Chains A and B, each alone.
Chain A
Amino acid sequence: MTSAVDKAALAKRPVMPRTARILGFAALALALGVAMPWLVSSKLTLSLTTQAIVDALLATSVGFLVLQNGRVSFGQAAFFGLGGYAFGVLVARQLVAPEVAFLLALALPTLVAFLLGLVFARIAGVAHAMLTLAVGQAFYEIAFRWRELAKGDDGMSFELPQRIFGFASSSLQDPAVMVVVAWSALVLALAGLALFVNSRIGQIAAAVRDNEERARFIGHDTAIPPAIVYAIAAFLAALAGLLQATYNGYIAPQMFHWSLSGTALIMAVVGGAQFIVGPAIGAVCFFFLKDFAGRFAEFWPAIVGTVLVAVTLLMPQGMVGLAFRLWAARRSKP
């Protein structure tokens, strides 16, 4: 009886503190990021960390589709590539001001994903995986074959303009700066996702994921909310592609390749796609495991496979899920 009363009391708990908590965590994490260049002196470590963060953004993008739409995509790299290519091509040809190129590199993939999402959200399971794979590879083929666009399969280096948004762009290729930029982007992205999940449109999307038919019969339109989730996920992938292209001053068709999407998906699952931060944690762990395993690089695919099998069997909710379970178990012990 008391437990019923407790639950009723819990039910009346306001949601406001949740928003405050999310923003508090984000502020803390941002401060930590700004301090990173002072805490770590090795340029190599900072550069590797930047790469790991870019991977984390892409994995977060793939994982968010699983979390909020219940959809497995094998084509998320298309938006990663699109973000990088839009920026690289526009800047290299000086078609628009670099700031406009920057914004277009984010807006274009987001819009494309929204429109595709209106259709893709209606398709589930294996068919969805195959469809996203096919669409993603179509982008890859275009980037690979269209030599006039960006030198086809050779890839294209490009010079950053002197200044972008008033900052010296050369600093964007300095790992001590880029690591802070990338980290801040990741933190803001995760906080944004957490706020979205708690928002009305985010909760309606979750209802549509859970039971599309009933969502209609309680009075909701079910096309737009999942499409917004696709758009948000693509925005994150494009942001990752944009950061990578800016940092390297280089774009190549591999940015679109399905194997990149697949790796991001594995990272998301290993980290725990049921949690907003799971995929990012999975990606960072993978990145440093890969670096650590460098000497056994030829066995890398086997290592990935083994980790994936171990995780799916031993921790179906990923690393974050396991951490939560252990924490809960500790707390419930007297």
Chain B
Amino acid sequence: MSANLAIQGLGVERRYGGFRALKGVDIAVKRGEIRGLIGPNGAGKSTLIDVLSGRVRGQPGKVLLDGKDISALKPQERRRLGLARSFQRTNIFPALSVEQQLRIASWAVTDAGIEEVMAELNLTALARTPAAEISYGDQRRLDLALALVGRPSVLLLDEPAAGLTVEESHGLATILRDLANRWNVTVLLVEHDMQVVFSICDGITVLHLGQTLAEGGVAEIRADKRVVTAYLGTEA
């Protein structure tokens, strides 16, 4: 059964002083799945991504990648095994050109070309421009491109569309769905735009106050009474 699972968190905890931001969360994403991770602000979504990606280590709980325990591994070691992430707040290399930072990223994983990543994310025309000088929307796609170099097996995306216009974020969702399919990438996607989540995700996990509130298929979650009261509201 677990042979099918790309990424797993088991009993994941995270404390900030006395405050428990994650209270023993279990999550398991199947290979090839796009899983939406939703929940109100402060639910612990970014914190969960931090634990899975290794930004936070040494807390109770386990992280498994393809069934292997990677809890003790540093972020760079996890990335080299195929676990990549992007950031809620744009996290790029401002002084380096788009092409240079993607190339540097490629050295860590494979020497595979970066041209296809630039082309897929519409960055080719900006290749020689320092990242600080490109538009915010381009920077968000660059953040995503840095995670996509070398075709990772698992991609953790923390609000990749944060701050984008509705059209931009829907465009990004289309690219994402398409790439995940073609490159066979498993995706855990934190996203606030429910239209995006409902249209591209195979399944949804709802986090609330550091705990899993519900988990299931899109239709199931939309109909879930607790989810509607805690997060979706009536209009969803």
Asked if A and B are interacting partners, one says yes
Q: B127 touches which one: A7, A213, A218, A222 (CB < 8 A)?
A: A7
Q: Hey, which chain A residues are within 8 Å of B108, CB to CB?
A: 218-220
Chain A residues within CB distance 8 Å of chain B: 4-5, 7-8, 10-11, 200, 203-204, 206-207, 209-211, 213-222
Q: Are B125 and A8 in contact (CB under 8 A)?
A: yes
Complex Cα spacing A176 to B157, Å: 64
Q: Are B76 and A219 in contact (CB under 8 A)?
A: yes
Q: Are B85 and A217 in contact (CB under 8 A)?
A: yes
The chain A residue with its CB closest to the CB of B127 is A11
Q: Are B104 and A218 in contact (CB under 8 A)?
A: yes
Output the least CB separation between B138 and chain A (Å).
12
Interface contact tally, CB-CB below 8 A: 78
Q: Check B149 for interface membership: any CB of A closer than 8 A.
A: yes
Output the least CB separation between B148 and chain A (Å).
11
Q: Check B28 for interface membership: any CB of A closer than 8 A.
A: no
Complex Cα spacing A221 to B107, Å: 12
Q: Check B99 for interface membership: any CB of A closer than 8 A.
A: yes
Q: Are B76 and A11 in contact (CB under 8 A)?
A: no
Interface string of B106-142 (1 = CB under 8 A from A): 0111000000000000001111110000000000000
Q: Are A217 and B75 in contact (CB under 8 A)?
A: yes
The chain A residue with its CB closest to the CB of B149 is A218
Q: B128 touches which one: A11, A204, A219 (CB < 8 A)?
A: A11
Q: Are B99 and A203 in contact (CB under 8 A)?
A: no
Complex Cα spacing A193 to B5, Å: 47
Q: Check B194 for interface membership: any CB of A closer than 8 A.
A: no
Q: Are A211 and B93 in contact (CB under 8 A)?
A: yes
Q: Are B79 and A218 in contact (CB under 8 A)?
A: yes
Q: Identify whether the interface residues of B are mostly helix, strand, loop, or mixed.
A: helix
Q: Are B127 and A203 in contact (CB under 8 A)?
A: no
B59-104 contacts to A (CB < 8 Å): 74-76, 79-80, 84-85, 87, 91-96, 99-101, 103-104
A-B contacts besides A11-B124, A214-B87, 18 pairs, CB < 8 Å:
A7-B126, A7-B129, A8-B124, A8-B127, A10-B127, A10-B128, A11-B99, A204-B107, A206-B96, A210-B93, A210-B96, A216-B74, A216-B76, A217-B79, A218-B76, A218-B79, A218-B108, A219-B105
Q: Which 9 A-B pairs have the closest CB atoms?
A: A219-B108, A11-B127, A219-B79, A4-B125, A218-B105, A210-B93, A216-B76, A216-B75, A214-B91
The chain B residue with its CB closest to the CB of A1 is B125
Q: Are B104 and A203 in contact (CB under 8 A)?
A: yes
Complex Cα spacing A113 to B61, Å: 39
> Can you list 27 A-B contacts (CB < 8 A)?
A5-B125, A7-B127, A7-B128, A8-B124, A8-B127, A10-B127, A11-B128, A200-B107, A203-B103, A204-B104, A207-B93, A209-B95, A211-B94, A213-B91, A214-B92, A214-B146, A217-B55, A217-B75, A217-B76, A217-B147, A218-B76, A218-B79, A218-B146, A219-B80, A219-B108, A220-B104, A222-B76
Complex Cα spacing A209 to B101, Å: 12
Q: Hey, which chain A residues are within 8 Å of B146, CB to CB?
A: 214, 218
